[in-house]
Structure 1
Amino acid sequence: MVFRLGELFCGPGGLAWGAMNADIGDPAYKIVHAWANDYDASTCETYTHNICPTDPDSVKCGDVRKLDIDSLGSIDALAFGFPCNDFSVVGEQKGFDGTYGPLYTYGVKVLKKYHPQWFLAENVGGLRSANEGSAFEKILSDLKAAGYKIYPHLYKFEEYGVPQARHRVIIVGIRDDLPYEYKVPSPAPYKDIDNSCKTALEVPPIPAGALNNELTKQNSKVVERLTYIKPGENAFTAELPEHLQLKVKGAKISQIYKRLDPSKPAYTVTGSGGGGTHIYHYSEPRALTNRERARLQTFPDTYEFMGSKESVRKQIGMAVPCKGAKIIFEAILKTFAGISYDSVPTNLKE
């Protein structure tokens, strides 16, 4: 059973890599690329270069609100990591009133048009509390109404061997005329994996001349400040001399000039980088390179990101960790193949 996958808001291809590399030991069950859409040109270039280099026309670059859904083509599965800006726990939560809030509805339109056998929708953990929980209820209701049994779960990717604390709501849906019941894969098989950020960045060493591995230029004051910040500390918890302290009023974000703790998974990789929000190395007084950030997102070193250094940083920050996605797609394939696997109850109400 080969599933042709369509993607909206495809990003640089974290979900796609997980889907194309999903392997349940039966070559009859696999996922192949059909088409994808994203609005950012460099992101689309990255996706095309790595996921479908021989079929560039299958990547539709442009605003989803202007996308001709009827022309996309038949699919067996849909993935959409709809933009999370208005559902994030950081900053003001605008939810459905924001520019990005209603974009999930384009995923619903594709489901109603093509009736794929299953879908995977992804968003930030803050989605559960946006609009006092009503946004999440509305999204789940709309997905059910499109004709799907849904299985929402808050996945903590560090529990699945990913070297990063990244918590995401993922909703798997199976068309309600099909006899399959998806179960959330258990993190138990991954509990003995060393998912420390140090191991991720150093084993194996990043090779000389690696792709997307340029150092960020740091000014001397930042370098000096970092020498006072210990691994795991940030600019507000470290003991800094007066001339290096940040004069910030109001909220003190814990991610500002925060250095990684080498014994733990990294904190969440984001697309930001200004004002001390880069991820900072545990032993060197510098920000991580994009290749190091990509390793925390479990992209292979051969994965080449296209565009400016700033664009690449944003692309990596908005991706789904490749290996985390692969685990979920393999669970979906096993569901359809009738292969049992260790599972846990969902931690979210349907």
Structure 2
Amino acid sequence: MRKIEKNKVTEFKLGELFCGPGGIALGATTAKIEDSKYKITHAWANDYDLDTCNTYKHNIAPDNADSVICCDVHKLDIPKLAPIDALAFGFPCNDFSIVGEQKGFDGIFGGLYKYGVKALKTFQPMWFLAENVGGLRSANEGSALKNILNDLRDSGYKVYPHLYKFEQYGVPQARHRVIIIGIRNDLPYEFRPPSPAPYENMDNTCKTAIECPPIDPNALNNELTKQSKTVTERLKHIKPGQNAFTADLPEELRLNVKGAKISQIYKRLDPSKPAYTVTGSGGGGTHMYHYEEPRALTNRERARLQTFPDNYEFKGLKESVRKQIGMAVPVNGVKIIFEAILKTFAGIEYDSIDFNVKE
């Protein structure tokens, strides 16, 4: 356990589980607070997907590829990893998402947060950040979040859960995530969610994100998606903000779908608003569609909605890249939270709000 004694710790070495392509890592390592030495640096990371790990290595740890361990977390030897001062884990959200069966703890992925708990008990870092979908609040009739928070507390931490609506923080995308900050019990700090007020006048429309500045046609990960003539014709009849079920489509272009009609199927972006949530998987009609041109977005356009810089190169084939971008955490959104953590430890006041997640 690393303690804050006379020589105050100002560089937090970060370990990551379920690291994804590096959205959290980039937000962490670029987080800065004015006139301060406080910063976060990469220590090690783990994910099971090879392309994802290669993306992370290339962008976050190009000089330390061995620090990114590509394996199933069940086989990860956590006690043998290097000591850390902070931990981040965006534990898989599949079983907590309201889009789907929401199996919670009964699903394949529901219990994976326990590997974060194991890392906390092993290393006792000074603080942690855990991330999941908004549906976590209602999974297992509300008991999932309560159980997770209790396990995190039992690991030796004060916990601070909050539902962040990233579009309120200048991110050009409506993305809502429960983020839990934990601070070790023996440390004299209390975390507060940063206020969205400083960002309320930002132009965070999807049009601005995609067009300003224009994307170089030769930009990384900017290949066009091939789509059929029928899809192109269908999109021409769908107005910005509409989907395949709200648009006035000719009979031959309508979808023969019974039961639930998912609102994002062939939904075109509204250029005057933030984008709807970028997702990582799904078949026809789920690729996100341009507000002006009758086509799906490119991966680079999707990456801009997730606030990745254009020089951030995603490794793998186009569908793999699509999945990585959709599973990531918006860089600029999580950066604001990391900066609030740094200010907390530095003793710097910042605008904050009340917690909105109730147990």
What is the Cα deviation at residue 280 of structure 1? 0.2
Kindly provide the CA deviation profile for residues 113-137 of structure 1, in whole angstroms up to 9, marking residues without a partner as x.
0000000000000000000001111
Distance 2:332 2:131 in 1: 15
Pairing 1:106–2:120 present = no
Alignment-derived partner of residue 173 in structure 2: 164
Alignment-derived partner of residue 208 in structure 2: 199
Counterpart of 1:174 (choices 180, 183, 191) is 183
Pairing 1:263–2:284 present = no
Give the SS at the match of 2:111: helix
Distance 1:349 1:173 in 2: 16
Give the SS at the match of 1:212: coil
Alignment-derived partner of residue 231 in structure 2: 222
Counterpart of 1:235 (choices 215, 221, 244) is 244
Counterpart of 1:322 (choices 317, 321, 331) is 331
Distance 2:143 2:130 in 1: 17
Distance 2:299 2:241 in 1: 20
Pairing 1:331–2:340 present = yes
Counterpart of 2:104 (choices 95, 98, 120) is 95
Alignment-derived partner of residue 78 in structure 1: 87
Alignment-derived partner of residue 40 in structure 1: 49
Q: How many residue pairs align between the two structures?
A: 350
Pairing 1:12–2:21 present = yes
Distance 1:160 1:218 in 2: 34
Give the SS at the match of 1:101: coil
Q: Which amino acid aligns with 2:166?
A: F
Give the SS at the match of 1:281: coil
Distance 2:109 2:265 in 1: 26
Distance 2:84 2:283 in 1: 40
Q: Which amino acid aligns with 1:298?
A: T
Distance 2:217 2:75 in 1: 43
- TM-score normalized by structure 2? 0.97
Alignment-derived partner of residue 137 in structure 2: 128
Distance 1:119 1:91 in 2: 28
Q: Which amino acid aligns with 2:219?
A: A
Q: Which amino acid aligns with 1:70?
A: P
Q: Which amino acid aligns with 2:151?
A: D
Counterpart of 2:261 (choices 245, 252, 267) is 252
Pairing 1:208–2:212 present = no
Aligned-residue Cα RMSD (Å) equals 0.7
What is the Cα deviation at residue 27 of structure 1? 4.4
Distance 1:291 1:66 in 2: 33
Alignment-derived partner of residue 297 in structure 2: 288
Larger mean CA deviation between 266-275 and 98-107 belongs to 266-275
Q: Which amino acid aligns with 2:69?
A: K
Counterpart of 1:24 (choices 25, 30, 33) is 33
Runs of 4+ in 1 over 4 A off after TM superposition: none
Alignment-derived partner of residue 149 in structure 1: 158
What is the Cα deviation at residue 207 of structure 1? 1.2
Identical columns (%): 76
Distance 2:187 2:284 in 1: 50
What is the Cα deviation at residue 278 of structure 1? 0.8
Give the SS at the match of 2:112: helix
Distance 1:122 1:72 in 2: 22
Mind listing any 5+ residue stretches in structure 2 that lack a counterpart? Answer: 1-9
Give the SS at the match of 2:264: coil
Distance 2:35 2:144 in 1: 39
